[in-house]
Every structure is written in structure tokens, then in C-alpha cells.
Amino acid sequence: MAATVVRSASGFRGSTGGGARERAEAGRARVPAQSLAGRNLDRLSKTMGTVGSPGCPQGRKVAQLAKRSFQRKALTTGSVYCSAAAGDGEGVAEPPKYCVVNFYHLVDVADEKAELEAHEAFLGEAKLDVKGRVFISEHGVNAQLSGPEADAVRYAEWIKSRPNFSDLCYRVFPSPGHAFPKLVLRNKALVSLLREMDDLPVTKPDQRAEKVSPQRWRAMLEEASSEKGQPGDGDGRLKPLLIDVRNDYEWDTGHFQGAERPNEYNFIETPVGQDVYGGLGDVEKERPIMMYCTGGIRCDIYSTVMRRQGFKNLYTLEGGIQNYLREEGPDHWKGSLYVFDSRMAVPPHLDSTREDGSLSAVAPCAICGGTAEAPHLNCANVDCNKLFLACEKCKPKYSGCCCKKCTNAPRLLRPIKKDGYYAKLHTYSETDDELKRQREDREALEEKIRRKKAAKAAAEAAGVPLPKKWGKKYLKM
């Protein structure tokens, strides 16, 4: 009989350049390794001692929980699980090898709508299992995809076969499953800055910075960090200046040594016009400027702005940080790498399928100041939603919140998990006993607090002292 296939993807992290709404969604997309159904199954099995036969009530209960645990597992991993139908035995097929594929190509597109229709037609006919973001505009294409490696690479190769896209370069990175919940294919500005400045000559290579290989970039990093010359090296040459053209929270996860923290929370906030990038106001226009970002597109595009501002010696890292870490390793790099998908951060070796410990971060824990772990969290207080880094102890201690005050907020997003991460509410059934009990306990406590506050107000109005046994904690919201 035909096998039943369960497909799912992990959560979704942000648009290219990183918007606040997308960051919030990604922070909520961390799914726990064990679901409520799995824990209920463990508890029931221990209570019964042995699993009952399928025909008895206890056996049916165990079977139902096992099925739900299996489905939750598919949701958490993003892999494809194949369970044999009844009577065929049980087993899990070898899952496909998933990957994340990133690429962009800056080229004039005469008819962006026709180009979009061509992509839609190809994907509709090929029926590829790819998810992610593909933005097509008059300036070219920008894409981040996930899926089985064969499907993702096939799509990238098809784009390379398109007119004017033969020079497209794409890179493939291992992933434990889909890194995006769905495929978003649309006509849209390639990065947020182009929504405001669509007249930038980004498709003209001579108007952009010079691309340098990871090998040359490493040599330039060593030159920039040398003690010789301030800023020259004694023979008339100017020492390179390194700038990070990403968002401030990306720098907090990891960055090249010697790069100052950006002032911008969003790429669209990067200075344009007469204003220059932070710290460059007094820099000589002839001085070499080394610009880097995750994949390279933000540097390529922002370099056209800096050309207008008079900077003459601009250099960008070919393929971005990802390409450097792949070619040169973690030398001159600190921390982990922030990425705009459900993983949110990857180790310097870029293989997110390897479980080799926690991910290091450069910035300290926002709560206690200790050593933080990547990735970032969004505060579990819905009305706060702050993006922050926390240490291993503070994540569960503060229930995924950014401070003690938020732990007492009336609208906490979802049940806390022991590792400090959350699952989306739709991964839980409303009939789950544990979730129902938590909701009932919370409502009962809130009702008790309301009654106590009303009694306090009435007692104070009547001049009657409050009973000592009530305690102050029941009188606070």
C-alpha cells in the first residue's frame, strides 16, 4: 500500500534586510524537540508499565498519542517522514538531503512581470519542493531558498539558463529541513533600500565596489588590523578601514574582528545622500573601505551610494560572510553568523545539521550580562516582543522574556519550553490536557487577583485592615 507522507517546515525568519515583523515571526518559530503529545506518551507508558494491545482502551490511547507524537516530530524537524500503512509494518524512509540556497544577480530586467510569470510557469510545471523568498525587479533577482538539494539546485540552474542570468552564482549550505514555511515569489525591490532609491545604478559594475576573493579579503583584514601606520603604513599607502553593512543585532551574533557595531536596526536606515555611514565623516575619500554583509547584496547596492558620496576605493567581499567562512574558515571571525530564516544563526562551519554544542554570540546576555547564546529570542511578552540575546540560565529562568517585569505580563505568547524556545500555538491541539490545564490555572489566578484587588479597595474605603494571610503578591497585577 502507498506510504503516508508528512511534510512540514520550521518557522520563518524575516525578509531580505530584516524587517521587524519578520524578526518577530522568526523568533516565535523555534520548535521544541519534544512535543506535548510525546511527553504525554512517555508518562502514559510509564504509568501502564507496558503498552496495551491495540484493541483495549489503554492501547488505543497509546496509539493515538504515538501518532500525534510522530506528527509533531515531523513538524519540528522539517524532514519528510514516510510511515507505512496498516498491515505493511512500520518504518521511516531515508529523508532527502535538505539545503539552503542563496543567490542574487544584479542585471537590467526589461519586463519584470514577464520574468515573474516565467518563474511561476517553471515551478508550476516542475513541481519542485522549494520554499523561501524570491524577489524579482527591474534590477535583477534576490533569492533565499530551502528544499531537497536536487530541487533547490535545479531551480537555481534554471535561473542561470535565463537570458542575462548566465553569470549568476549560487551557494548551497546544509540544512536539517526547510528553513522557510512557504514560497514567496513576487515582484519586489531586491532590498529595502531600493524601495526608497530605485534610481541607484546598481546594475552597472563600474558604479559598484570592487569584489575581492575570500583569500584577498583575509590578507586585507590582516593589513587593516596591523599596528603599522595610523592610518597609513609609512610608505604613503592608507590602511584599509573595515565596516559592517548589516544591522546591529546581526553584529551582536558575530562579526569580523575590528568592525565597529552598526548604528542601524534596519538596512533602510543606512545613511544616504549627504549623510555618510557612521564613523566615515572624517575619513579621507581615498582611503580603502572594506564593506561586508551576509551574502553580498547589501554591500553591492550600498557601495553605489558611497560612490556618490565621493569614496573612491571601495571593496566588497565576494559572496559575503558565508563564502568567506566556507573558503577561509573562522580566522578573523568572532561568534556565529546571523541568518534570515528559521535557523536565525549558524555556526562558523555553516553546517546547521551538525549538533556540536550551543552557538556562541559576541554580545553579552541582555539580562545578566553573562555569556549569551545564539540565536536571538523575541520576548514572550506579546506587548514587548523585544529581540534579544540571553544565556543558557536566563532563558528558562525568565520564561523566554527579556526581563523579570515581562514574566508577569498578562499576554504571554505561548507555553515555555525547558530550553527557552517556543513553539507556535498551532502546533498544539486545544484538547491537549497540559495546555488546557495551564490556561485554566492562569485564568483562575487572574480571577483570584481581581477578587483580592476588589476586596482591598472595599476594605480601604471602609477603613478595615486587610488580612495578613492574603500576601502582597496576590494584590499585584
Q: What is the pLDDT of residues 392-418, one digit of tens each?
A: 999 889 988 999 999 888 777 655 444
C-alpha distances in angstroms, 237 versus 128, 283, 310? Answer: 52, 14, 19
Dig out the grid coordinates for 180 from the structure. 522557510
H or E segment at 322?
helix 320-328
Please tell me the predicted confidence (pLDDT) of residue 70: 36
Cα 20–Cα 26–Cα 28 angle in degrees, nearest 5: 110
State whether residue 165 is helix, strand or coil.
coil
In this prediction, what percent of the chain has a pLDDT beyond 70?
68
Question: What ranges make up the beta strands (E) of 138-199?
Answer: 140-148, 170-174, 183-187
Q: How confident is the model at residue 125 (pLDDT cuts 50, 70, 90)?
A: very high
Q: What is the pLDDT of residues 432-448, one digit of tens each?
A: 565 566 667 777 877 87
Q: What is the dihedral of CA 53, 54, 55, 61, to 10 degrees?
A: 100
Superfamily of domain covering 205-334: Rhodanese-like domain (3.40.250.10)
Please tell me the predicted confidence (pLDDT) of residue 225: 86
Please tell me the predicted confidence (pLDDT) of residue 195: 84
pLDDT at 429 over 50: no
What does the pLDDT average to over 324-332? 95
Please tell me the predicted confidence (pLDDT) of residue 246: 93
What does the pLDDT average to over 376-401? 89
Task: Say which amino acid occupies 472.
Answer: K
Contact 285, 252 (CB under 8 A): no
- Alpha carbon of residue 441 to chain centroid: 33
User: Which one, of 188, 196, 76, 97, lies nearest residue 149 by Cα?
Assistant: 97
Q: How confident is the model at residue 155 (pLDDT cuts 50, 70, 90)?
A: very high
Residues 6+ positions from 73 with CB-CB distance below 8 Å? 35, 38, 81
Please tell me the predicted confidence (pLDDT) of residue 460: 82
Its CATH class, for the domain covering 98-190, is alpha beta
The residue annotated as part of the active site, out of 82, 169, 293, 299, is: 293
Q: What is the pLDDT of residues 65-109, one digit of tens each?
A: 444 443 333 333 332 222 223 334 344 557 789 999 999 999 999
pLDDT at 463 over 50: yes
pLDDT at 189 over 50: yes
Which is more confidently placed, 53 or 299? 299
Q: Mean pLDDT in the chain?
A: 76
pLDDT at 390 over 80: yes
Bridge-based pairing state of the strands 131-137 and 183-187: parallel
pLDDT at 477 over 90: no
C-alpha distances in angstroms, 289 versus 157, 220, 333? Answer: 33, 10, 18
User: Which one, of 305, 187, 287, 197, lies nearest residue 245 by Cα?
Assistant: 305
pLDDT at 4 over 70: no
Give the span between the Cα atoms of 239 and 232, in whole angstroms. 5
pLDDT at 12 over 70: no
Please tell me the predicted confidence (pLDDT) of residue 437: 66
In this prediction, what percent of the chain has a pLDDT beyond 90?
49
Phi, psi torsion values for 417, nearest 5 degrees: -110, 155
Q: How confident is the model at residue 197 (pLDDT cuts 50, 70, 90)?
A: confident
Cα 244–Cα 249–Cα 250 angle in degrees, nearest 5: 50
Catalytic (active site) residue 293 = yes
Please tell me the predicted confidence (pLDDT) of residue 309: 87
**Structural domain boundaries of the chain?**
4-10+23-83, 98-190, 205-334, 357-427, 433-475
